[in-house]
């Protein structure tokens, strides 16, 4: 799937910040008010183990899609530091089971024996994409240019500016609330599982999102889409960031489309206010 860059005007000031603590979920099956933002009735989602629901909450989601999902999302982002509930349009994952409880080879989200940083995630992705002998499985001599390191971030200029709700149409969707202290924690807490075929779990994507938020003001809008308040401004940033995107999401056809000239994806990142991914 090929995504095109988006260049919405960044006009709505929002001081996202962090919460004092993860928030309390709304009650189930009734209309709720989340710090002044009214939401229709919804229900909590729980982790399951061996097909049985546990008492561990993934999040809370509206029972029906909301027409003006982006407007509601941005309203909830505005009050996040008060509520400790990060909003996501749609669900964060396909299922409700933890991978390591279904497959013994999966690493745990709470593993303490490896640093939970973007550097570790990208290094593992780089290592996992090395060429191997088809018969023996032995690793072949390295011919790829070395990874150029993380892209330099775009400097902060004060309060984050988000795309205006007046200028941006967004498809209807349920609103999911994830109880976290920091926005980037949402994938690890909320059961994000879009990249299991790449051995990436929610904690991995949280580590990536933390770095992208710090460097580019990237915030999770949906499980596969980020709103970016400080996008890259030059080709050096964009080329290096494009390589980060490719390592995190290597099977996305936007990195392999034969109709795209080399560097076109990186060019599109300059000034782009949304990043979209496709894990298949």
In b/e form, how buried is each residue of 148-169, taking b as 16+ CB within 10 angstroms? Answer: eebbebbeeeeebbbbebeebe
List the single range of 56-65, 130-139, 208-217, 267-276 with lowest mean pLDDT: 130-139
For 21, residues 6+ apart whose C-beta sits below 8 A from its C-beta are 84, 181
Distance CA 61, CA 46 (A): 11
127 vs 45, higher pLDDT:
45
Percent of the chain with pLDDT over 70: 81
Q: What is the mean pLDDT of the chain?
A: 83
Q: Which two tokens stand for residue 75?
A: 């309203």
pLDDT at 236 over 60: yes
Q: Which two tokens stand for residue 63?
A: 């029972």
CA-to-CA separations, 80 to 63, 225, 273, in angstroms, rounded: 21, 19, 21
Cα Rg of the chain, angstroms: 19
Are 265 and 1 in contact, with CB atoms under 8 Å apart?
Answer: no
Are 226 and 101 in contact, with CB atoms under 8 Å apart?
Answer: no
pLDDT at 253 over 70: no
143 vs 78, higher pLDDT:
78
Percent of the chain with pLDDT over 90: 46
Best CA proximity match to 163, nearest among 205, 224, 221: 221
Read off the DSSP letter of residue 132. Answer: B
Neighbours of 270 (CB within 10 A): 17
- Strand partners for 228: 218
Distance CA 194, CA 269 (A): 22
Determine if the pTM surpasses 0.85: yes
Give the CA dihedral 176, 226, 191, 204, nearest 10 degrees.
-160
pLDDT at 107 (0 to 100): 47
pLDDT at 110 (0 to 100): 45
**Chain segment 8-43, per-residue pLDDT in tens:** 778 888 889 999 999 999 999 999 999 999 999 999
pLDDT at 79 (0 to 100): 97
For 199, residues 6+ apart whose C-beta sits below 8 A from its C-beta are 106, 124, 128
List the single range of 20-29, 63-72, 96-105 with lowest mean pLDDT: 96-105
Best CA proximity match to 178, nearest among 58, 70, 48: 58
The backbone torsions φ and ψ at residue 209, rounded to the nearest 5 degrees and listed phi first, read: -65, -35
Distance from first CA to last CA of the chain, Å, rounded?
10
CA-to-CA separations, 55 to 190, 193, 255, in angstroms, rounded: 14, 19, 40
Residue 2 banded pLDDT, cuts 50, 70, 90: very low
pLDDT at 278 over 80: yes
């Amino acid at each position: 799937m090929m995504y095109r860059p988006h260049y919405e005007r960044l006009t709505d000031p929002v001081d996202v910040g962090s919460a004092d603590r993860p928030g309390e979920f709304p009650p189930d099956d009734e209309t709720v008010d989340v710090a002044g933002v009214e939401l229709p009735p919804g229900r909590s989602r729980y982790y399951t183990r061996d097909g049985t629901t546990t008492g561990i909450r993934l999040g809370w989601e509206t029972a029906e899609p909301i027409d003006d999902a982006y407007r509601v999302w941005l309203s909830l982002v505005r009050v996040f530091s008060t509520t400790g509930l990060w909003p996501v349009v749609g669900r964060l994952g396909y299922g409700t089971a933890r991978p390591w409880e279904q497959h013994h080879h999966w690493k745990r989200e709470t593993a303490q024996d490896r640093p939970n940083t973007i550097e570790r995630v990208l290094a593992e992705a780089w290592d996992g994409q090395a060429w191997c002998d088809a018969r023996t499985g032995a690793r072949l001599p390295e011919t790829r240019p070395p990874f150029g390191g993380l892209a330099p971030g775009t400097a902060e200029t004060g309060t984050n500016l988000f795309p205006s709700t007046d200028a941006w149409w967004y498809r209807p969707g349920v609103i999911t609330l994830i109880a976290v202290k920091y926005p980037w924690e949402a994938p690890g807490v909320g059961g994000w599982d879009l990249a299991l075929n790449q051995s990436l779990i929610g904690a991995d994507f949280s580590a990536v999102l933390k770095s992208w938020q710090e460097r580019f003001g990237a915030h999770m809008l949906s499980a596969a889409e980020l709103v970016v308040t400080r996008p890259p401004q030059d080709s050096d940033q964009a080329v290096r960031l494009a390589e980060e995107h490719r390592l995190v999401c290597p099977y996305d056809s936007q990195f392999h489309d034969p109709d795209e000239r080399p560097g076109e994806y990186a060019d599109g990142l300059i000034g782009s206010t949304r990043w979209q991914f496709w894990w298949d």
